[in-house]
Amino acid sequence: MGVSTSDLVEYRLDGRIATLGLNRPDKLNAFSDELVVALADALRRVDGDPGAHVAIIHGNGRAFSSGADVHQRQLRSREEFERLGGPQGFGAHAGDLLTRSVNWKPVISAVHGYVLGLAVGIVLESDLIVAEEGTQFQVTETSRGLGGAKYWALLHFRGAAAFGTQVALTGRFFSAEEAFEHGVIDRLAPKGQHLEVARELAAEVDKNPPLSVRATVRTRRWYLDQLSREVAMQTAPLKLYLTEDFQEAARAFTEKRPPLPFEGR
């Protein structure tokens, strides 16, 4: 077993299964630009390591992730948003994490606690998903004024159909149990056992010839990438991150108050 820890992502190799632990527990593993970059580095390490056949992403502490770091990524100045083309920093686009690969090794998300906003996207883009009972998911982009189109598309890609439309339009919390019922996740784990269940699933995958597995992963992610690009072509010109509604929602969140009435501008 090999273990190494960066400030932001803990990397562990146990046999041929690599475990990547999001390591910002004091912020509920909120995705700052730096955490996105650190996770990308860890995934590249898995991709290039001949000894690693399957990867598991999980969160240290009380939750998988509370989503994007609102203080950093959603309170930028208008000039920054215009220069960057959105809330993400240069080289810190979470949508690129699983679509830039060489060896296309399968990735399992093992989640617990909360999976919110940006983290929902990372989890849905993973090849397989294990969730602890009671885990709460939410497409927070709906209430923040950024729109849930990408998450609607990812949920539809996983076959959630009407359920995906409902949670993307309402922005309500939904549980791991609901997600399992609607086919969004692959395994529902007992409390405290999401990592164990994910390792069991990884071992099942690893019994197969690795090149056979990777051919399937590559094809799946190609279609996933095409879908994500199509959604971006539809939504990017709207520049919702420049609207007054988005700015009010972000400020209200950081100030821990209800937002003022949204004006549609």
| Cα–chain center distance at 225 | 14
CA distance 179 to 188: 9
pLDDT of residue 159: 93
Per-residue pLDDT of 31-90, as tens digits, reads: 999 999 999 999 999 999 999 999 999 999 999 999 988 778 777 788 887 887 777 777
pLDDT of residue 1: 47
Per-residue pLDDT of 96-153, as tens digits, reads: 899 889 999 999 999 999 999 999 999 999 999 999 999 999 999 999 999 999 999 9
The tokens for 134 are: 């009671």
CA distance 216 to 49: 19
Q: What are the φ and ψ backbone dihedral angles of 19, each rounded to 5 degrees?
A: -115, 125
Per-residue pLDDT of 204-215, as tens digits, reads: 999 999 999 999
Q: Where are the domains of the chain?
A: 2-192+207-234
How much of the chain is helix, strand and coil, in % rounded to 5?
Answer: 45, 15, 35
**What's the CATH superfamily of 2-192+207-234?**
2-enoyl-CoA Hydratase; Chain A, domain 1 (3.90.226.10)
